[in-house]
Amino acid sequence: MKIIVGVTGASGVVLAKKLIDELKKTCEVHVILSESAKKVTAIEIKGDSAKSMKGNFNYSEKQMDATVSSSSNLCDAMVVVPCSMKTLSSIAHGFENNLITRCAHIFMRCKKPLVIVPRETPLDQIQIENMLKCSRAGAIILPPVPGFYTNPKSVDDITNFVVGKILDCLEIKNDIYKRWKNTGD
């Protein structure tokens, strides 16, 4: 599978790092970093984002002429993780101002899987409406909210839960998070 991962400057870049590492085990991964994602990575992961978020192919948000910017390049799915409210708004309004929002629209136009992981709290009505717009256009909205029934003990547990849910949406088999089980008495 060929997967595009768009990483924006919302909190939670560790989710992107974990997802990219998992996807690289079985998929061809194309990573697009926004300029703000690089800044947030420096704060949250304390490293060089270009090194810690490495896919098989790597692009900056400004590379509008990258191969993946055309629907003639057949990719199987795209994930925007974490997705800032700014990028969410651009996607919701068809504003293809960078390579991430351009690619997101290719997936919506072509009715292919697009998973958006929006990160902000609390949310205002505009942001909620933007999620609804994207959902109506076919995107999967997957907020990075853990299931507390797994009794998470660490940030890793929470990260794995969210990344496992993203992989489930992509129909990629994984056992990186504890699934709910109740087999009765």
Ligand X SMILES: Cc1cc2nc3c(=O)[nH]c(=O)nc-3n(C[C@H](O)[C@H](O)[C@H](O)COP(=O)(O)O)c2cc1C
Which parts of this chain interact with ligand X (CB under 6 A)? 8-11, 34, 36-37, 39-40, 43, 84-87, 119-120
Cβ-proximal residue to ligand X, closest one: 9
CB of 10 to ligand X, least distance (A): 4
CB of 9 to ligand X, least distance (A): 3
Q: Are strands 140-141 and 77-83 parallel, antiparallel or unpaired?
A: unpaired
CB of 174 to ligand X, least distance (A): 25
The nearer residue to ligand X, 60 or 174, going by C-beta atoms, is 60
CB of 183 to ligand X, least distance (A): 38
CB of 116 to ligand X, least distance (A): 12
CB of 184 to ligand X, least distance (A): 40
The nearer residue to ligand X, 34 or 69, going by C-beta atoms, is 34
The nearer residue to ligand X, 27 or 41, going by C-beta atoms, is 41
Distance between CA 182 and CA 185 in Å, rounded?
Answer: 9
The nearer residue to ligand X, 27 or 68, going by C-beta atoms, is 68
- Amino acid (one-letter) located at 178: K
The nearer residue to ligand X, 27 or 163, going by C-beta atoms, is 163
Distance between CA 71 and CA 19 in Å, rounded?
Answer: 23
Alpha-carbon distances of 67 from 58, 71, 75, 155, rounded to whole Å: 11, 9, 10, 35
Alpha-carbon distances of 2 from 11, 72, 85, rounded to whole Å: 25, 13, 26
